[in-house]
Structure 1
Amino acid sequence: MHASVTAIIHDCHEATEQDRMAFPQILAALNAAGIEGYSVDFRRSTKAYYQPDGDSLELSFQAVGVPVAAVFDAAAVQAAIREAQAGVAGYTYRGFCEKVMAAGCAGYIVSMLGRRVVYFGRTAETHVELFPQ
Protein backbone atom coordinates (compact mmCIF):
# COMPACT_ATOMS: atom_id res chain seq x y z
CA MET A 1 0.00 0.00 0.00
CA HIS A 2 1.40 3.39 -0.97
CA ALA A 3 2.55 5.59 1.92
CA SER A 4 0.21 8.43 0.93
CA VAL A 5 -2.79 6.09 1.10
CA THR A 6 -1.64 4.74 4.46
CA ALA A 7 -1.34 8.31 5.76
CA ILE A 8 -4.91 9.12 4.65
CA ILE A 9 -6.22 5.96 6.30
CA HIS A 10 -4.45 6.80 9.55
CA ASP A 11 -5.78 10.36 9.45
CA CYS A 12 -9.36 9.19 8.83
CA HIS A 13 -9.03 6.52 11.52
CA GLU A 14 -7.87 9.10 14.08
CA ALA A 15 -10.40 11.70 12.91
CA THR A 16 -13.20 9.22 13.56
CA GLU A 17 -11.95 8.48 17.06
CA GLN A 18 -11.53 12.21 17.79
CA ASP A 19 -14.85 13.26 16.18
CA ARG A 20 -12.97 15.60 13.82
CA MET A 21 -14.69 14.39 10.64
CA ALA A 22 -18.23 13.27 9.90
CA PHE A 23 -18.97 9.96 8.17
CA PRO A 24 -19.53 11.55 4.71
CA GLN A 25 -16.16 13.33 4.97
CA ILE A 26 -14.43 10.09 5.95
CA LEU A 27 -16.03 8.29 3.00
CA ALA A 28 -14.99 11.02 0.57
CA ALA A 29 -11.37 11.03 1.78
CA LEU A 30 -11.04 7.24 1.72
CA ASN A 31 -12.73 6.97 -1.67
CA ALA A 32 -10.42 9.63 -3.13
CA ALA A 33 -7.45 7.61 -1.82
CA GLY A 34 -8.67 4.50 -3.65
CA ILE A 35 -10.12 2.64 -0.69
CA GLU A 36 -13.18 0.68 -1.78
CA GLY A 37 -14.41 -0.25 1.67
CA TYR A 38 -13.62 -1.06 5.26
CA SER A 39 -14.85 -3.25 8.05
CA VAL A 40 -15.18 -2.69 11.78
CA ASP A 41 -14.98 -5.58 14.24
CA PHE A 42 -16.16 -4.47 17.68
CA ARG A 43 -15.19 -7.77 19.32
CA ARG A 44 -11.54 -7.43 18.22
CA SER A 45 -11.45 -3.60 18.29
CA THR A 46 -10.09 -3.47 14.75
CA LYS A 47 -10.81 -1.75 11.45
CA ALA A 48 -9.57 -3.12 8.13
CA TYR A 49 -9.36 -0.90 5.03
CA TYR A 50 -9.39 -2.50 1.56
CA GLN A 51 -8.05 -1.52 -1.85
CA PRO A 52 -9.35 -2.99 -5.13
CA ASP A 53 -6.07 -4.89 -5.71
CA GLY A 54 -6.61 -6.88 -2.50
CA ASP A 55 -4.15 -4.92 -0.40
CA SER A 56 -5.42 -3.99 3.05
CA LEU A 57 -4.44 -2.30 6.26
CA GLU A 58 -5.76 -3.28 9.70
CA LEU A 59 -5.69 -0.81 12.58
CA SER A 60 -6.70 -1.22 16.21
CA PHE A 61 -8.86 1.15 18.20
CA GLN A 62 -9.46 1.50 21.91
CA ALA A 63 -12.00 -1.07 23.07
CA VAL A 64 -15.40 0.49 23.56
CA GLY A 65 -15.98 -1.32 26.85
CA VAL A 66 -19.55 -2.36 26.10
CA PRO A 67 -20.23 -6.04 25.41
CA VAL A 68 -21.99 -6.90 22.18
CA ALA A 69 -25.52 -7.87 23.21
CA ALA A 70 -26.61 -11.41 22.32
CA VAL A 71 -29.76 -10.27 20.51
CA PHE A 72 -29.53 -8.07 17.42
CA ASP A 73 -32.03 -5.20 17.57
CA ALA A 74 -32.13 -3.74 14.05
CA ALA A 75 -34.53 -0.96 15.09
CA ALA A 76 -32.13 0.23 17.82
CA VAL A 77 -29.20 0.10 15.37
CA GLN A 78 -31.21 2.14 12.88
CA ALA A 79 -32.14 4.67 15.59
CA ALA A 80 -28.44 5.16 16.42
CA ILE A 81 -27.72 5.67 12.71
CA ARG A 82 -30.47 8.27 12.42
CA GLU A 83 -29.04 10.17 15.41
CA ALA A 84 -25.63 10.21 13.74
CA GLN A 85 -27.09 11.37 10.43
CA ALA A 86 -29.03 14.14 12.15
CA GLY A 87 -25.96 15.32 14.04
CA VAL A 88 -27.80 15.40 17.35
CA ALA A 89 -26.22 17.49 20.08
CA GLY A 90 -23.57 15.59 21.98
CA TYR A 91 -23.06 12.98 19.25
CA THR A 92 -19.77 11.11 19.39
CA TYR A 93 -18.56 8.15 17.39
CA ARG A 94 -17.77 6.34 20.64
CA GLY A 95 -21.33 6.93 21.86
CA PHE A 96 -22.62 5.60 18.54
CA CYS A 97 -20.50 2.47 18.99
CA GLU A 98 -21.81 1.96 22.52
CA LYS A 99 -25.41 2.21 21.31
CA VAL A 100 -25.07 -0.20 18.39
CA MET A 101 -23.08 -2.71 20.48
CA ALA A 102 -25.76 -2.60 23.18
CA ALA A 103 -28.20 -3.30 20.32
CA GLY A 104 -26.26 -6.46 19.41
CA CYS A 105 -24.08 -5.10 16.60
CA ALA A 106 -20.80 -7.04 16.42
CA GLY A 107 -19.47 -4.99 13.54
CA TYR A 108 -20.17 -3.43 10.19
CA ILE A 109 -18.90 -3.39 6.63
CA VAL A 110 -18.77 -0.18 4.59
CA SER A 111 -18.85 -0.57 0.80
CA MET A 112 -18.11 2.49 -1.30
CA LEU A 113 -18.84 0.40 -4.41
CA GLY A 114 -22.23 -0.73 -3.08
CA ARG A 115 -22.93 2.63 -1.41
CA ARG A 116 -24.09 0.88 1.75
CA VAL A 117 -23.18 -0.21 5.24
CA VAL A 118 -24.08 -3.68 6.48
CA TYR A 119 -24.38 -3.93 10.27
CA PHE A 120 -24.29 -7.48 11.64
CA GLY A 121 -24.94 -9.24 14.91
CA ARG A 122 -23.39 -12.24 16.59
CA THR A 123 -25.82 -14.56 14.82
CA ALA A 124 -25.19 -12.89 11.42
CA GLU A 125 -28.46 -11.01 11.48
CA THR A 126 -28.09 -7.81 9.49
CA HIS A 127 -29.34 -4.31 8.92
CA VAL A 128 -28.44 -2.72 5.57
CA GLU A 129 -28.20 1.06 5.43
CA LEU A 130 -27.88 2.71 2.03
CA PHE A 131 -25.78 5.88 1.78
CA PRO A 132 -28.00 8.96 1.81
CA GLN A 133 -28.54 10.47 -1.64
Structure 2
Amino acid sequence: MDADRIAIAEACLRAAHDGSLSFPEIVGRLAGAGFEGYAVDYRRHAQIFYRPDGDSVALAMPGGRGPVAAAFAAAGIEALVRWAQSGSADYRYEAFSEGARAAGCAGYLVSFAGRRVVYYGRAAETHVEHFPR
Protein backbone atom coordinates (compact mmCIF):
# COMPACT_ATOMS: atom_id res chain seq x y z
CA MET A 1 0.00 0.00 0.00
CA ASP A 2 1.29 3.46 -0.81
CA ALA A 3 2.51 5.79 1.94
CA ASP A 4 -0.26 8.36 1.39
CA ARG A 5 -3.04 5.84 2.04
CA ILE A 6 -1.22 4.43 5.07
CA ALA A 7 -0.90 7.98 6.42
CA ILE A 8 -4.66 8.51 5.98
CA ALA A 9 -5.41 5.24 7.81
CA GLU A 10 -3.03 6.23 10.63
CA ALA A 11 -4.58 9.70 10.91
CA CYS A 12 -8.10 8.24 11.06
CA LEU A 13 -7.05 5.73 13.71
CA ARG A 14 -5.54 8.51 15.84
CA ALA A 15 -8.61 10.69 15.29
CA ALA A 16 -10.94 7.96 16.52
CA HIS A 17 -8.90 7.62 19.69
CA ASP A 18 -8.38 11.32 20.38
CA GLY A 19 -11.93 12.29 19.38
CA SER A 20 -10.87 14.82 16.75
CA LEU A 21 -13.08 13.23 14.03
CA SER A 22 -16.51 11.61 14.25
CA PHE A 23 -17.29 8.17 12.85
CA PRO A 24 -19.00 9.66 9.75
CA GLU A 25 -15.98 11.91 9.13
CA ILE A 26 -13.60 8.97 9.46
CA VAL A 27 -15.68 6.86 7.08
CA GLY A 28 -15.73 9.73 4.58
CA ARG A 29 -11.97 10.18 4.66
CA LEU A 30 -11.23 6.49 4.38
CA ALA A 31 -13.75 5.96 1.56
CA GLY A 32 -12.36 9.01 -0.22
CA ALA A 33 -8.91 7.43 -0.08
CA GLY A 34 -10.22 4.26 -1.72
CA PHE A 35 -10.72 2.04 1.34
CA GLU A 36 -13.83 -0.16 1.41
CA GLY A 37 -13.87 -0.81 5.13
CA TYR A 38 -11.91 -1.80 8.18
CA ALA A 39 -11.86 -4.29 11.02
CA VAL A 40 -11.08 -3.79 14.69
CA ASP A 41 -9.59 -6.80 16.47
CA TYR A 42 -9.68 -6.30 20.23
CA ARG A 43 -7.81 -9.56 20.90
CA ARG A 44 -4.83 -8.52 18.76
CA HIS A 45 -5.24 -4.83 19.61
CA ALA A 46 -5.08 -4.00 15.90
CA GLN A 47 -7.11 -2.29 13.21
CA ILE A 48 -6.93 -3.48 9.60
CA PHE A 49 -7.90 -1.21 6.71
CA TYR A 50 -9.01 -2.87 3.47
CA ARG A 51 -9.00 -1.78 -0.17
CA PRO A 52 -11.13 -3.41 -2.88
CA ASP A 53 -8.04 -4.68 -4.73
CA GLY A 54 -7.14 -6.93 -1.78
CA ASP A 55 -4.48 -4.64 -0.36
CA SER A 56 -4.64 -3.92 3.35
CA VAL A 57 -2.68 -2.39 6.18
CA ALA A 58 -2.76 -3.47 9.83
CA LEU A 59 -2.00 -0.90 12.50
CA ALA A 60 -1.58 -1.26 16.25
CA MET A 61 -4.33 0.48 18.17
CA PRO A 62 -3.32 3.11 20.70
CA GLY A 63 -4.71 3.03 24.21
CA GLY A 64 -5.40 0.37 26.72
CA ARG A 65 -5.72 -3.33 26.26
CA GLY A 66 -7.92 -5.71 28.10
CA PRO A 67 -9.47 -9.14 27.94
CA VAL A 68 -12.63 -9.84 25.98
CA ALA A 69 -15.40 -11.26 28.17
CA ALA A 70 -16.54 -14.76 27.29
CA ALA A 71 -20.26 -13.92 27.11
CA PHE A 72 -21.46 -11.73 24.24
CA ALA A 73 -24.05 -9.13 25.25
CA ALA A 74 -25.64 -7.67 22.12
CA ALA A 75 -27.73 -5.27 24.24
CA GLY A 76 -24.53 -3.92 25.78
CA ILE A 77 -23.03 -3.34 22.34
CA GLU A 78 -26.20 -1.62 21.17
CA ALA A 79 -26.14 0.69 24.21
CA LEU A 80 -22.52 1.61 23.51
CA VAL A 81 -23.34 2.39 19.87
CA ARG A 82 -26.23 4.63 20.93
CA TRP A 83 -23.88 6.44 23.32
CA ALA A 84 -21.37 6.95 20.49
CA GLN A 85 -24.12 8.25 18.19
CA SER A 86 -25.57 10.59 20.83
CA GLY A 87 -22.87 13.23 20.51
CA SER A 88 -22.49 13.18 24.29
CA ALA A 89 -19.62 15.31 25.58
CA ASP A 90 -18.42 12.42 27.76
CA TYR A 91 -18.01 9.97 24.82
CA ARG A 92 -14.49 8.60 24.31
CA TYR A 93 -13.54 5.79 21.95
CA GLU A 94 -11.27 4.24 24.59
CA ALA A 95 -14.26 3.95 26.96
CA PHE A 96 -16.37 2.55 24.10
CA SER A 97 -13.71 -0.10 23.44
CA GLU A 98 -13.41 -0.97 27.11
CA GLY A 99 -17.19 -1.38 27.31
CA ALA A 100 -17.27 -3.43 24.13
CA ARG A 101 -14.64 -5.86 25.44
CA ALA A 102 -16.57 -6.13 28.72
CA ALA A 103 -19.70 -6.92 26.66
CA GLY A 104 -17.84 -9.79 24.98
CA CYS A 105 -17.06 -8.01 21.70
CA ALA A 106 -13.92 -9.53 20.21
CA GLY A 107 -14.01 -7.10 17.30
CA TYR A 108 -16.07 -5.60 14.55
CA LEU A 109 -16.10 -5.19 10.78
CA VAL A 110 -17.12 -1.91 9.15
CA SER A 111 -18.40 -2.07 5.56
CA PHE A 112 -18.73 1.24 3.74
CA ALA A 113 -20.67 -0.27 0.81
CA GLY A 114 -22.92 -2.24 3.15
CA ARG A 115 -23.32 0.79 5.42
CA ARG A 116 -23.14 -1.43 8.47
CA VAL A 117 -20.96 -2.62 11.30
CA VAL A 118 -20.93 -6.26 12.36
CA TYR A 119 -19.84 -6.75 15.98
CA TYR A 120 -18.81 -10.29 16.92
CA GLY A 121 -18.03 -12.26 20.04
CA ARG A 122 -15.51 -14.94 20.83
CA ALA A 123 -17.97 -17.69 19.85
CA ALA A 124 -18.92 -15.87 16.60
CA GLU A 125 -22.12 -14.35 17.96
CA THR A 126 -23.02 -11.22 16.04
CA HIS A 127 -24.84 -7.93 16.36
CA VAL A 128 -25.38 -5.73 13.28
CA GLU A 129 -25.73 -1.96 13.34
CA HIS A 130 -26.64 -0.05 10.18
CA PHE A 131 -25.19 3.40 9.57
CA PRO A 132 -27.63 6.13 10.57
CA ARG A 133 -29.31 7.93 7.68
TM-score with structure 1 setting the length: 0.96
The residue aligned with 1:23 is 23
1:91 equivalent to 2:91? Answer yes
Gap runs ≥5 in structure 1: none
Percent pairwise identity: 51
Rounded Cα–Cα distance in structure 2 between residues aligned with 1:99 and 1:15? 19
- TM-superposed CA distance for 1:70, in Å, is 0.5
The residue aligned with 1:56 is 56
Any conservation in 1 of the 2:45–2:65 contact (CA below 8 Å)?
A: no
Equivalent residue letter for 1:19: G
Any conservation in 2 of the 1:35–1:52 contact (CA below 8 Å)?
A: yes
Rounded Cα–Cα distance in structure 1 between residues aligned with 2:25 and 2:85? 12
Structure-2 change in CA distance of 1:88 and 1:27 (3 Å): same
Gap runs ≥5 in structure 2: none
The residue aligned with 1:126 is 126
Q: Tell me the secondary structure at the aligned position of residue 129 of structure 2.
A: strand
Equivalent residue letter for 1:17: H
Rounded Cα–Cα distance in structure 2 between residues aligned with 1:7 and 1:112? 19
Q: Tell me the secondary structure at the aligned position of residue 127 of structure 2.
A: strand
Q: Tell me the secondary structure at the aligned position of residue 76 of structure 1.
A: helix
The residue aligned with 1:2 is 2
Residue-by-residue CA offset, 1:103-123 (whole Å, 9 max, x unaligned) = 000000000011100000000
C-alpha RMSD of the superposition: 1.0
Any conservation in 2 of the 1:45–1:63 contact (CA below 8 Å)?
A: no
Q: Tell me the secondary structure at the aligned position of residue 87 of structure 1.
A: coil
TM-score with structure 2 setting the length: 0.96
